[in-house]
A = this chain, B = another copy of it.
C-alpha cells in the first residue's frame, strides 16, 4: 500500500513484507486539500499523520490573534499534537495543509494495537521520537542563541526545500518574526 512508510520503518528496524501487510491494515489513506484543517484548537487529537506527499504545518493563534507556525512536515514526517494525543486533552494547535497533501492516518486505538502487537514498532517509534526530540533540542538552541536575522539565514541554509515550497509569510510565522521584518532582512541580502 505504501512503500514510503515501509521504507521509512526499515531505516530503523526490520519488518518483513508480510508483517508490513498487517501493519498497513491499521492505517487509512487520506487526501487533504490546500488550507484544509486536520485538527483545530479545542479538539482532541485522535490521530497520527504520516505525510506521503505535500506539506502540513502546525500552528497556534497567540493572544494578539496572530498565527504562529511551530512545525512543518513534508514527505516521511510524522505529525500530530503529541501533548493532546498523549493526555487526550483539548489541543491549542491547528494542523493544516500548506499545499494539497496525501497522508496516512492512524487512530489512537489502532496505534495502541500497533505497538502492542508489533514489537518492532516500539523500537521504530522509540527511534522516531528520539530523533524528533534531538531535533527539537537543536531547534531550542537556535531559538535562544541566534538573532532573528541569523535564524533566517540558518533556516535558509539548512532547509532550502522549504524556502521554495512555502510562502514567505509562513516562513516568517515559523521563525517568529513579522513578514515586514523578513522582507527587510531579504532586502539586505540582495543588495
Contact = CB atoms under 8 A, between A and B. Distances in A.
Contacts of A190: none
Q: What number of copies of this chain does the assembly contain? A: 2
A71 B140 CA distance: 10
Contacts of A86: 130-131, 134
A147 to B, nearest CB: 10
Contact of A119 (B92, B119, B139): B119
A117 B123 CA distance: 12
A63 to B, nearest CB: 7
A106 to B, nearest CB: 15
A181 interface: no
Interface majority SS on A: helix, strand, loop or mixed? helix
A163 interface: no
A137 B115 CA distance: 23
Contacts of A130: 82, 86, 125, 129
Contacts of A123: 115, 122
Task: Give the interface centre of A60, A130, A133, A138 by most chain B CB atoms within 10 Å.
Answer: A133
Task: Give the interface centre of A126, A139, A143 by most chain B CB atoms within 10 Å.
Answer: A126
Interface of A: 60, 62-63, 68, 70-71, 81-83, 85-86, 92, 115, 119, 122-123, 125-126, 129-141, 143-145, 176
